[in-house]
Chain A
Amino acid sequence: MKVPNNTNANGKKQTNNKVIIKIKGLRKSFGENHVLKGFDMTLYEGENLVIMGKSGSGKSVMIKCLVGLIAPDSGYVEVLGKDISTLNQKSLDALRANIGFLFQGSALYDSMTVRENLEFPMRRHQQKLGKVTNTEPLVLEALENVGLAHTLDLMPAELSGGMKRRVALARTLILKPKVILYDEPTSGLDPITSKEIIELMRTIQKKYGTSSLIITHDVDCARVISERMILLVDGINYAEGTYAELSASKDLKVEAFFKK
């Protein structure tokens, strides 16, 4: 079921059609388990695109293909105008400097303080930032964006789940990426913290004008943040449209996502 879409959540026509991410015919199998069976997707500049699917439907596999963490079996993956499959390691690393990735479990480095966690990508992407001698102002700015400037010298083990997610978000922001990929940004969080994280994602998008690709199975998160949605079912993009369009659908598979 395809719902042609060129409107955002507010019903306004999208004017900016610069493609940030393009996927065509993406296939990935793990042995006999065929996870993605020809998935297609396009993310436009400044857009918040939500991809919803059941657990194990291949959402995380798809998002990992975008940053070269998993190699697809076949299909075309283009990020910021570059075909991922043709990039060597150096070019891939340079491209990754423009992609923020918020991992499902925050993925903060346990052995490093919050400061070191944020400094880590800066030291690794010096070709983008130049030789940064004083990292403190950049680290503080990123932490202030998520309201956690006071956690600078704490270890990740000393932070709550919500705080970890915020620090991880600050770490993705430190390189000022053009696109942020969110892998289940609200999973494992209580409803209040989830709302805070969603609000933070919206604030960041407004402030930096980033494009966002959000993988989630949280309907509330999708409703609040999505401008467009894709439902990933049986390895393909089963349905596409705004939240309002999809939630009104009478298709049984689509309805199943929105049933309370």
Chain B
Amino acid sequence: MAVATEALHRTKQFFIEIGELSTFASRFFKEVIKAPFEFKELLRQCYQLGVRSLFLVGLTGFIIGLVLTLQSRPTLIEFGAVSWMPNMVGISIVREIGPVITALICAGRIASGIGAELGSMRVTEQIDAMEVSGTNPFKYLVVTRILATTLMLPLLVVFGDLIALYGSALVENLKGNVSFQLYFNTVFGALSFGDLIPATVKSFFFGFVIGLVGCYKGYNSKKGTAGVGLAANTAVVMASLLLFMVDFIAVFISDIFYEL
């Protein structure tokens, strides 16, 4: 009985959380079109959240490219299909692995960072001070961060994809004597707009989800410094879960278009 009550309570909490997140998102859409526009802060956030993630995304992409190629190579050799390596790696990285891995890395770095930053601003009354200074803190802090993650994530995905492909090409160059030019020609020959467009579109949604969840958790942080840690932690968990849900929906929709 106690387990059932607990399960019911948690389910109720989950739906309340989703409802509050939706309200938060609708407030974002209302505020984003209203003047004044905080361009300077938006640029600063693009630099903080985007440019400063380049190294992490690049390193992860490089390792993913290396590992994927090294692990696929023996199987493809067994079936005499090693020449399909660039096609297989290219399509899998561009369509799925690149966006998802980049988004997960960013969920860990950016969503937790935003959650902790806004959480500590809430706890130390900096958000209140901003409001008293005649600034709409939602517009200045939340709208700029969500826009920055939405705009920067597709760029990070492209960057991560290219580095991952470079890692894969490096393995093929060292182990299979395939030149970089031939490798990349084969990769780009295998890719179509049908691979690039859905991946790019879903990257925008991934960026939006990361920014939205990070801001929601941080902006509504409570319970002092413990709440800041909780905001950062739950931001990563919730953003990661939502990323997979968005990914499923994106793949489902793009699959319908493929069948048409």
Do A and B actually bind? yes
Which A residues contact B (CB, under 8 angstroms)?
A: 64, 67, 69, 89, 93-94, 96-97, 99, 101, 103-105, 107-111, 120-121, 124-125
> Could you list 29 A-B pairs, sorted by A, with CB under 8 Å?
A64-B128, A69-B128, A69-B131, A69-B132, A93-B134, A94-B134, A96-B133, A96-B134, A97-B134, A101-B129, A103-B129, A105-B124, A105-B125, A107-B125, A107-B126, A107-B128, A107-B129, A108-B126, A109-B126, A110-B120, A110-B121, A110-B126, A111-B117, A120-B130, A121-B133, A121-B134, A124-B134, A124-B135, A125-B133
Question: A104, B135: Cβ atoms under 8 Å?
Answer: no
Which residue of chain A has its CB nearest to the CB of B124?
A105
Which residue of chain A has its CB nearest to the CB of B128?
A69
Q: How many angstroms between the C-alpha atoms of A17 and B124 in the bound complex?
A: 36
Chain B residues with Cβ below 8 Å from A110 are 120-121, 124, 126
Q: Which of B117, B125, B126, B132 has the most CB of A within 10 A?
A: B132
Q: How many angstroms between the C-alpha atoms of A243 and B258 in the bound complex?
A: 80
Chain A residues with Cβ below 8 Å from B133 are 96, 120-121, 124-125
Q: How many angstroms between the C-alpha atoms of A104 and B131 in the bound complex?
A: 16
Chain B residues with Cβ below 8 Å from A101 are 129, 132
Question: A107, B134: Cβ atoms under 8 Å?
Answer: no
Q: Is the interface of B mostly helix, strand, loop or mixed?
A: helix
Q: How many angstroms between the C-alpha atoms of A101 and B125 in the bound complex?
A: 11
Residue in contact with B134 in the complex, picked from A69, A108, A111, A125, CB distance below 8 Å: A125
Question: B134, A103: Cβ atoms under 8 Å?
Answer: no
Residue in contact with A67 in the complex, picked from B124, B126, B132, CB distance below 8 Å: B132
**Which residues 104-146 of B sit at the A interface, judged by CB distance below 8 A?**
117, 120-121, 124-126, 128-136
Chain A residues with Cβ below 8 Å from B129 are 101, 103, 107, 109
Question: A99, B132: Cβ atoms under 8 Å?
Answer: yes
Question: A103, B135: Cβ atoms under 8 Å?
Answer: no
Question: A104, B132: Cβ atoms under 8 Å?
Answer: no
Q: Which of B120, B121, B125, B130 has the most CB of A within 10 A?
A: B125
Residue in contact with B125 in the complex, picked from A93, A103, A111, A121, CB distance below 8 Å: A103
Q: How many angstroms between the C-alpha atoms of A195 and B135 in the bound complex?
A: 32
Chain B residues with Cβ below 8 Å from A125 are 133-134
Chain B residues with Cβ below 8 Å from A67 are 132
Chain A residues with Cβ below 8 Å from B121 are 109-110
Chain B residues with Cβ below 8 Å from A104 are 125
Question: A96, B132: Cβ atoms under 8 Å?
Answer: yes
Question: A120, B128: Cβ atoms under 8 Å?
Answer: no
Q: How many angstroms between the C-alpha atoms of A99 and B131 in the bound complex?
A: 12
Which residue of chain A has its CB nearest to the CB of B126?
A107
Q: Tell whether A103 pairs with B128 under 8 Å between CB atoms, given A93-B134, A120-B135, A125-B134.
A: yes
Q: How many angstroms between the C-alpha atoms of A163 and B189 in the bound complex?
A: 63
Which residue of chain B has its CB nearest to the CB of A181?
B132
In the complex, what's the smallest C-beta–C-beta distance from B149 to chain A, in angstroms? 17
In the complex, what's the smallest C-beta–C-beta distance from A88 to chain B, in angstroms? 13
Q: How many angstroms between the C-alpha atoms of A107 and B137 in the bound complex?
A: 14
Q: How many angstroms between the C-alpha atoms of A89 and B131 in the bound complex?
A: 11
Chain B residues with Cβ below 8 Å from A94 are 134
Q: A107-B126, A120-B133 are in contact. List 19 more A-B contacts (CB 8 A).
A: A67-B132, A69-B131, A69-B132, A93-B134, A101-B132, A103-B125, A105-B125, A107-B124, A107-B128, A107-B129, A108-B126, A109-B129, A110-B120, A110-B121, A110-B124, A110-B126, A111-B117, A120-B130, A125-B133
Q: How many angstroms between the C-alpha atoms of A108 and B128 in the bound complex?
A: 11
In the complex, what's the smallest C-beta–C-beta distance from B220 to chain A, in angstroms? 15
In the complex, what's the smallest C-beta–C-beta distance from A181 to chain B, in angstroms? 9
Q: How many angstroms between the C-alpha atoms of A121 and B128 in the bound complex?
A: 13
Q: How many angstroms between the C-alpha atoms of A67 and B131 in the bound complex?
A: 9
Chain B residues with Cβ below 8 Å from A120 are 130, 133, 135
In the complex, what's the smallest C-beta–C-beta distance from A93 to chain B, in angstroms? 4
Chain B residues with Cβ below 8 Å from A121 are 133-134
Q: Which of A99, A124, A125 has the most CB of B within 10 A?
A: A124
Chain A residues with Cβ below 8 Å from B125 are 103-105, 107
Chain A residues with Cβ below 8 Å from B136 are 89
**Which residues 29-53 of B sit at the A interface, judged by CB distance below 8 A?**
none
In the complex, what's the smallest C-beta–C-beta distance from B15 to chain A, in angstroms? 21
In the complex, what's the smallest C-beta–C-beta distance from B56 to chain A, in angstroms? 20
Which residue of chain B has its CB nearest to the CB of A103?
B125
